[in-house]
Amino acid sequence: MAKRVLTTESGAPVADNQNSATAGVGGPILLQDQHLLEKLARFNRERIPERVVHARGSGAYGYFEVTDDVTGFTRADFLSAVGKRTETFIRFSTVADSLGGADAVRDPRGFALKFYTDEGNYDLVGNNTPVFFIKDPIKFPDFIHSQKRDPFTGKQEPDNVWDFWGNSPEATHQITWLMGDRGIPASYRHMNGFGSHTYQWTNAEGEAFFVKYHFKTNQGVRSLSADQAAELVGKDANSHQTDLLQAIERGVNPSWTLHVQVMPAADAADYRFNPFDLTKVWPHSDYPLQRVGRLVLDRNPDNVFAEVEQAAFSPNNFVPGIGPSPDKMLQGRLFAYADAHRYRLGVNHTHLPVNAPRTAVVDNYGRDGVHATRNGSRHDKNYEPNSYAGPAQTDAALAAPLAIHGWTGTHEAPAHTKDDDFFQAGELFRLMSEDEKGRLIANIAGGLSQVTRDDVIEKNLAHFHAADTDYGKRVEEAVRALRED
């Protein structure tokens, strides 16, 4: 078999890849050594900015198969027939830590899924929890700053974490999730995934529904205690990546069953709490889970950088029959996610193989920019409307229009009868077994007791008291005991 020839970036063969060109034996290196300069210059530019959030991630390819008829709720083509399969790519991630962080830590997990549909890519960007810490995107940069490394100490500070939470009572529900038994998944395969936000589905008749996505793991939910996680991090900081990679390589293909909760659009206005509030769940007794299909992961990426780090998920990538809701956090992410990718990867990041549609044809007037690969031919115009048979609009909206009214301004969300920040956190606490409650209290107290300011501790204790009397009392006693030690 003939040897492959090593070349420069321009395709010229490389004569010597072991020794730099010098001025005589042992002399200084020559500026004319193009191969050396090219290698060093390229090496300096190998890294791209890491994600500010969800930096540490793992990914896999697979498929989604429809198992149940949902055409009464949506006209999305990839959901149009039982048995229909669509290729997918998923990226799991931690949220707060950097690219070099450990996997087995107490942190929400990203659950970002790309469907390569015949009508274009549909991106569903969620987490492994059905709720989040805040309900308005204007607070998101501040929230993330409070959870990341402190500018002075260079490490995550309990004072910052709990100070933000203490001044953001809407975080109480998600704190109860995060500090509970499911706060540290045993692996990416053993956790559920949620769309978290509320989305809109529209059927062929134009009827609108609001939906929430639930991906239930078919491997069973498994989580780690704080001690188990610390031990695992010491053995393999990349434990979740290792598990996912090795499982798929062995042919043990993880899968999830997708269910949705479906709310007729007319129900939203009078529902007992704001159905578009990301800090709330819809009780299953009100809107039961309805099965849609199954997600199967069956192929590892060949190159982590090209296919996991350069994977770009944007919740504004919708397809006909699916659209946004008035969820304020979703509305903010419709801009922020796509803009983050334009910054990290460039305006033409959708040309990259992992982000490009598989079967849908891309035909628009986007031109130029760094790494442009679809600039068209001499016959293609770069403006619209035109008289040269260029692509034209369909006049068919992807989703149903949303009615709006009132005055512009910085409004708080409209109040519903059960709209408070503590009711659902208390409901979640009361659902737990006594052992689960004990572990939850210990996890919260372990972090809150490290806070140096008494007023910050008192603010957070007030939130747990408001959620449930026993919840607050037990957290308060546990914090006091740890601070007196």
What positions carry a catalytic annotation?
Answer: 54, 127
Look at the alpha carbons of 398, 265, 85, 354 in this order and tell me if their dihedral is positive or negative.
Answer: positive
The alpha carbon torsion through 428, 93, 325, 424 (nearest 10 deg) reads 10
Q: Which two structure tokens, joined as six digits, stand for 258?
A: 């997708």
DSSP string, 401-469: PPP--S--S-PPPPP-TT--SSHHHHHHHHHS-HHHHHHHHHHHHHHHTT---HHHHHHHHHHHHHH-H
Residue 99: which residues within 8 A CB-CB, separation 6 or more?
A: 50, 51, 55, 56
Report CA Rg, the chain.
Answer: 25
The residue among 289, 292, 281 whose CA lies nearest residue 258 is 292
**Taking each helix axis from N to C terminus, what angle separates 434-448 and 158-166, rounded to the nearest 10 degrees?**
110
The H or E element spanning position 473 is helix 469-484
Residue 332 tokens read as: 């903010």
**How far is CA 297 from its chain centroid?**
17
* Closest among 199, 219, 221 to 208, alpha carbons compared: 199
Query: In whole angstroms, what separates CA 384 from the centre of its chain?
Result: 35
Residue 237 CA: distances (Å) to CA of 233, 241, 481: 4, 9, 32
Q: How is residue 336 written in tokens?
A: 């922020």
What is the C-alpha separation between 174 and 133, in angstroms, rounded?
Answer: 5
Q: How far apart are CA 280 and CA 181, in angstroms?
A: 19
